Structure 1
Amino acid sequence: MKTLFKKYLLLPLMAVSLLTSCQEEIIELNEPNESEVITASAPLASLMSRTSLNDGSFDNIIDRNSCTSIELPVTVIVNGIELTIDSEDDIELIEDIFDAIDSDIDVLEIIFPITIVLSDHTEIVIENMAQLEAFIQECSEGEDDDIECIDFQYPITFSVFNSDLVVINTVTINNDRELHDFFEDLTPNDLVSLNFPVTLELADGTEVVVNNNTELEDAIERAINACDEDDDNDFDDEYADITKERLTELLLACPWSVDKLEINDIDQEEQYVGYLFSFLEDGTVKATSNSTMVLGEWEIIVTDLGLKLAIAFNDLTDFNAEWRVHEVDDYAGEIKVDLRNGDDRLRFEKECDANPTDCSEMFVDDALSICKWRVVSFNGDDNLIDISIDFSNQNIHAYDAQGTIVDEGNWGTSQSNDGVMVSFNDLTMQLVDIAGDWLVTECAGSRFKMVSGSNFIVLEKDCGDADGDVAQIKEWMVQGEWLVANYNDSGEDNTALFANYILNFMENGGVVATNNGTIEGTWNVFRDSDSVLRFLMNFGPNTPFDELNDDWTILEATADRIELKDVSGNDGSIDILVFEKIL
């Protein structure tokens, strides 16, 4: 089969040596530039040939080597289950079966005969495992000549010249195999040139257009080590060398659900259906469901054996471990992070696409116009969180806890080369720090992150009190006097700091603490974008109540008692605050 193909391809090249019989068939093209001519010995010929080699690494789970690939379809038996693999995407099914049970011995049996394809696209029929094993033994793991991080977009065409640089033919190349054979058949006397422009695709999907030999050679050379070619024989490590930066980027991009959780050989994921885990830049992780929010901490640890994801909750102890990053799987647009801790297993699945390129001006306009919003983070601080912002009708009306307007302005969106821009205009009072133009970098219906130079803000939606809980808690708080019954600061009991203080929470959003003098502050109750009830307090720098300045999570509330919780600092330690009514 290959011999016939070569004979077919050689026909236009034979014309180079048989000029007398072909002169009448000369193709009229522009006179070529000598610098664009490629010979068999040219460095560019070698680079293009290496780019056209067959990559045998995609099916290592079947043939256990990167020097060959198996021509599909192929039938295999995986842990007793018979599968027909019709495409590269189907190979994922094999790994899913292997991963389904961690404690078993994974066995894959190939149904012979099969056809393997070598790096030079030669096809060989293999009748049994012994014959395949011979090729496996000959393949040096991690060592091959193919360049896998860049690919030609076909078709491409070559012009063929005689010794006087007159075009005598053109050859159209439609795939890697034809390109490889084209260069393999070049003789030292053959002269060809590639017809530009030519488009190439990098491993990340980026397209590169080149217009001459120099640009093409540079593009290929830059791509040689630009990606992980996965040429080892461990099929199950697609992202074993994922960087800390890339994993951090993935985790921060958007919330995650629990796809699998197995502790002590018992499946636990059912009890976490509906939970979303949000990994935040400050090292905290927020687990939320319809009625619960739990805060913890997370950290990526770099070890000699790869990365670990350390998770620590006070309440959700099933997740507490330094989980080894076993695999990050990007399959058919679904991203999963598979973690292991001994025999225990945790797999998170990405629950939304936070890619700002998918964000439109219309989406931002519609989202900001619904409900009110809060700046939950300004460069990592929450000093603006007690301000409620109404963006309706392209206007800005900002209110403090007492309902007093603290700033006004207007806003609009525009499209830049980098994405959607949001402009906050005419702000001169408490929101003056966010005035200006901001690039949307995280785009969701209830949360936006925006950057401007070295500054960033995070906006979260505040849709009020649909179920009446906010109004009920506020009603309880303004009725009677309160004291600090418990203040546990990262495990240390500091309740004594507030001994003899009596607190009065007022309807106008003010709070007064009295003890041989008064300390004044503000308070508010609201439901955040994740439907979690929050209790906000700000006493400014006034000790000891400056300890309580924060937006606390409400764990429990009754007419006579309210228990609050907060994660303090980057170490994930938990603060507990309890107010009790003086009866």
Structure 2
Amino acid sequence: MKNQLLKIAIFAFIGFFTFSCSDLDDNEEVGTVDIENLIQKESELFGLIERVAETDDDDEITCIKFLYSFTLLEFNTDLLPVAQHVVSSDPQFSSILEGIAAGNSIGISFPIQSILDNGDEFLIQNKDELKQAIDDCILAQQDQIAGNCRLVQEECVWIVSHTDGEDTYENAVFNIANDGTLKFYNNGIEYEGARIVYFIEDELHTNITINIIDMTDMTGIDWNFDWKTQLLSNDEMTFTNDTGTFLLTKECDEENYCTTLVFVECEDVVGSEISEFIFEDYIPCIIQISNLDELTIDDTIAFYETEEDANNQVNPLSQTSYQNTASVQIIYVRIDYIGSTDFILIPIEIQSISC
């Protein structure tokens, strides 16, 4: 491949999505990855990245710039995650890379590909080709784009929209965290993972790793790609690969998006573990996450303390003001659509917390 095709502008690692404030234990199993998505410590690429982390801006390799903070995932020889390292500076990155155990790996999704301005194809299919690309990187109008990328580190989320009429991931949510971890929410299910952002010449790319829950789950298969990324504005961007395009829209108001069917309210009195819950406020999220049709004036929705009450339609709860009976409680939501003889029963969780 021509040297020009091997130029890569900035290998910019930035933080990605999370919802909770808790960190994974270094030995906690969070999923498995394909061996081709790993950079072995003994490889030339690993050595190059380590050398870059030790290099000052004025030294030989100045076109590879890391945007901190980010999380580096480490995998053992069985391809199981054994640690995650929150990286905040070049010296710290160098120290972490030096400490990666022999045979262990770090995760990246392949292929990485693009069509360059001259019409030639830029294709990286494995860690060795990626090493070659980084060896001959370029600088070209990256500072401005890199600054735009930092916008995703704000305390907001990104809402997914399809551009092809499908709805599998419509209204799915990526949550942003400064430490580089991600949490992805779809249909009330929470996934963990990480993200790496870099440039090929002046083209922005996003490399996503989502840890799958089981081998039948398509989420990792659908999202673990190198995505060509276009920033449309401060509030919108697109992810594109050979399979299609997603539109992501930034949302900073928690009332405008849904993640799970867990609803949390502050205690009325500190230490009481009692809160007021307004169930009617949760209806849009319940409908959206459960992938149900919008309710019409002829349809009914009701909330119950027990599954038996819901089945028998007795003792419905107030939808405008309810006080919980336990700090963590299951409520049963019954939905009856006009014209259907069957009803839908959905359990939700309510929590009273100290705020």
TM over 0.5, shorter chain: no
The TM tier, using the shorter chain, reads: 0.3 to 0.5
- Determine which structure has the larger strand proportion and give its number: 1
Larger RCO, structure (CA 8 Å, separation 6 or more): 2
Normalised to the residue count of structure 1, the TM-score between the two structures is 0.24
Determine which structure has more spread, i.e. the larger CA radius of gyration.
1
